[in-house]
Chains A and B, each alone.
Chain A
């Protein structure tokens, strides 16, 4: 069992000793169903921290901001940052370490196991509530969730409202950590890629209809990119910084700039953006499904990334984020890689 009091004690200790600059954790927010990220800098604020299935956000994204902030400072504080990680988040840290974007000394990882559970899926709960606003939630012995709204109180088994990724999770505990709470039991879900089955079984035309319908909804707000811990390029292929077009760019210069993907939210451009993003995340996506959660138009983005995760597993026996020392998927190869599709 993860004991919150012990975590707080440890957090307080490391803050008092000055081992870490600050701790990125979860706190209660105005939304009963969602814990908010919080930054604890002083030991007296430690009581803000919480740990329960509402902590579904991936905090690893904040490490990227921290790195950029450090690069701008003249005399940066080089102490590590304490961070709460779940199983999936820890794999994100592993990928960042693997790509040498951060170093191990930059982070103090407070690992928390989801054990036999996982985190909530807000959208699933909203469906159950049928439009009512949740006011208070309680967890009843890690089995049920009791949600109180203005009019009624309902009890739902936790298993029914866990995020899809948690149901398909194979390692619900952090694979890398400095301190750790909970158990380290590997889960073996019967069908780790069950969510893909429905689309995979469709005919070619039906598949197209599905994705066409989904991706043409995209308004190109780039929330998926902003929330993704793996999307840390300074310059993205969809909006150039170095090749930006300003008021005094001449027509001649403009004509020489390559635009791979236009910004307009049209079907073809949206496919361009999402396919490229999926390719860039191949072998890197750790399935935190934050992209899908933040999508304002509910595009099932997780299914794109999950597909490539499955391909990587089946064709190349590769799983992202398990080991910071392993070579990345697309910068390595094996002699026995399949080539039956090549003439």
Chain B
């Protein structure tokens, strides 16, 4: 029997909230799919669109950007900038024909380990029927 497709997700998590949230999920022994590769960044506002495109080029099947809830940003307003920028990236990705389901943004606070596991579970469920992302992937 053919093995089921396991998507690879690159998650850019902000250091202060989402990364701590994913840690909480870990230390609380919550169960979630192992498909995600977390990359801690200092702030969701520091995620350049280039990181996102590059993740897809390097073969990510899905990309998640996660930051603090609005108003909770460690740098006061980084996540507000992120919100605008990510909205533009999302529209652009959809416009060039990449499946919009492959790119997500979320607010996860340091206390929301449960929400983080739910987001990853749902994301993996959504990506499985899409199959591997080959559109932007480098041919090497």
Contact = CB atoms under 8 A, between A and B. Distances in A.
A72 interface: no
Contact of B97 (A208, A267, A330): A208
Given A272-B53, A275-B53, A207 B96 contact: yes
Contact of B92 (A278, A316, A330): A278
B55 to A, nearest CB: 11
A306 to B, nearest CB: 10
Contact of A272 (B57, B84, B107, B135): B57
A278 B50 CA distance: 11
A207 B87 contact: no
B43 to A, nearest CB: 14
Contact of B88 (A210, A276, A312, A343): A312
Contacts, number: 109
Interface in B2-54: 49-50, 53-54
Chain A interface residue bracket vs B: 35 or more
Contacts of B77: 333
Contact of A211 (B84, B86, B96): B96
B84 A271 contact: no
Question: SS class of chain A's interface: helix, strand, loop or mixed?
Answer: helix
A342 B98 CA distance: 18
A243 interface: no
A91 B53 CA distance: 29
B70 A339 contact: yes
Contacts of B50: 237, 260, 276, 279
A209 interface: yes
Interface of B: 49-50, 53-54, 57, 70, 77, 80-81, 83-92, 94-100, 104-107, 119, 135-139
Interface of A: 199-200, 204-212, 237, 260-262, 266-269, 271-272, 275-276, 278-279, 282, 304, 307-308, 311-312, 315-316, 329-333, 335, 337-339, 341-343
8 contacts: A209-B97, A260-B54, A268-B137, A272-B136, A339-B70, A342-B86, A343-B106, A343-B107
